[in-house]
Amino acid sequence: MPPVTPRGKPFPAPWPQDQSDLARSKRFDMMTFMRYPEGHKEAIRARIVKAASEGLRRHGLDGVSIPALMKAVGLTHGGFYAHFQGRDELVAEAILAAAQQTGEQVFGEGRPLDEALDLYLSRGHLQRPAAGCVVAALGTDGARQPAPVRRAFTRAARGLLSLIERKLHPGAPCREPSDRALAISSAMVGAVVLGRLVDDEALAERILQAARGVARG
């Protein structure tokens, strides 16, 4: 006979009542224990994008594998698909993140064009592609990439043109890049690409210097 309360009613049966309930309770406890704080998934995604952005600029579009990338950020290969549908999505997002980084670091608000030119057309930029302009680092391979990646490169290139245009005409309404902005951007990107290709520091410095002269008109 089950125990009863002082009023003669049966005590509630202890919970969980059976093995299935026990299993459910364990799952509930585990889910509660493993619940991540708000923003955790977004923070992990940002870490992956940052690592990809740097790795791709350093090693090239085909130089970074998903397993190696996930290992570098301390995650498993399988965890990648909790954040991205595929490699192209990650590469596209990494390109845009790199472009934003250059915009902030080189063409930041209040920095005059001459100073931005000195930062972009510098020996330091040549030597550190992983932290530099993604258009100069990877743009030559962009046209051969799948559509999502090509679209990201297009946005990055147009963004660079827009930054130069705004430096030329601060405070002016947004508009299509002028010929002057096109010429400056072409000189900047071309000089960095060419400067990295030549195996001659003196020649590389001359290329940068010549591009600074062209850009300043």
Residues 6+ apart with CB under 8 A from 43: none
Q: What is the pLDDT of residue 16?
A: 43
Q: Is the confidence at residue 115, as pLDDT, over 90?
A: yes
Q: Is residue 146 part of a domain?
A: yes
Say if CB 47 and CB 122 are below 8 A apart.
Answer: no
Is 106 part of a structural domain of the chain? yes
Question: How confident is the model over 133-169, as pLDDT tens digits?
Answer: 999 999 999 989 999 999 999 999 999 999 999 999 9
pLDDT at residue 133 in the model: 98
- Domain span at residue 122 reads 40-216
Q: Is residue 17 part of a domain?
A: no
* 207 lies in some domain: yes
**76 is a domain residue:** yes
pLDDT tens-place string over residues 84-105? 999 999 999 999 999 999 999 9
Q: How far is the C-alpha of 191 from the C-alpha of 208, rounded, in Å? A: 6
For the entire predicted model, the pTM comes to: 0.79
The enclosing domain of 186 has a CATH number of 1.10.357.10
Residue 3 domain flag:
no
User: How confident is the model at residue 33, as a pLDDT?
Assistant: 43
Instruction: Judge whether 21 lies within some domain.
Output: no
In a domain, 138, yes or no: yes
